[in-house]
Structure formats: C-alpha cells, structure tokens
Amino acid sequence: MAFLQINLFSDTIGMATPVNVIMPERAKEPPAVLYLLHGLSDDHSLWTRRTSIERYAESRNLAVIMPNTYRGYYTDMARGYKYWTYIAEELPEKMKTMFNISTDREKTFAAGLSMGGYGALKLGLRKPDKFKAVAGFSS
C-alpha cells in the first residue's frame, strides 16, 4: 500500500487543501474507492492515526481518500467556503484524474465520523447515482 499526503489546489474553495490517500500498489484493476470524512474536532489524519484503515484497505483492494474540510460541515456556506461542492463534485473528479480508481458506482463508498458521518450520509442522499453505500458513525 502507498500512503500519500497531497496538497491540492481547489478551485471551488479557492485554496490549497490537504488530502491523505491510501492506494493499493499492485492492483490488477482499478480499486474500489472509499471517501472517508473526519469529524468536527479532528482532521484528515484521524483515520490513519487512530484506526487500522491501511491494513483493512490493503486486504480489500480499496483506495481510501481522506480530505481535510476543516469545520466546513460539508456544506456550501453563504459567506464562506463551498465544501459541499468540493466534496461532492471537485474532489472525486480530481482523484479520478490523479489516480487509477474505479469510477463505477458499485465500487464507490463514503463514510465518516460525527460531522463526517453527516457529510457521508448527505453524499448518499444527494448523489445516489454515485455511491453504492454510505455510513455515518456517531452522526
């Protein structure tokens, strides 16, 4: 497995933003992809610091994308950043361009903790054509 720490520029939110990515190295086909979202009191590093996500991903040929959305509530704010558009539209497109990940709905998932669970559930409800399953933990 490869663990990548990326700073990408988001046109949607108008700044560079960090994304951690776990990517299978020897996949024979594009891996399934999980967008894993953090909660209010943490950041994108939560999942690699406090869970065994890398080990789980490796055994399942799963790419895991963990963006930092600060305290954006996965929402487009009237007087602030457009984190919903970033998470729902821009980030998946950038990840598909940068990595050989599956674009198939049947292999695309989202999950999150607390605020991130809200974001994952919102993705599933508003983008059912893009996600096979979503999960919210402590949401």
User: Tens digit of pLDDT for each residue in 81-125?
Assistant: 999 999 999 999 999 999 999 999 999 999 999 999 999 999 999
* pTM of this structure: 0.96
* Mean pLDDT of the chain, nearest integer: 96
Q: Report the C-alpha dihedral over residues 39, 30, 62, 18, rounded to 10 degrees.
A: -30
Domains present along the chain, CATH in parentheses: 2-137 (3.40.50.1820)
Tokens 């970033």, located at residue: 86
Residue 32: pLDDT over 90: yes
Residue 139: pLDDT over 90: no
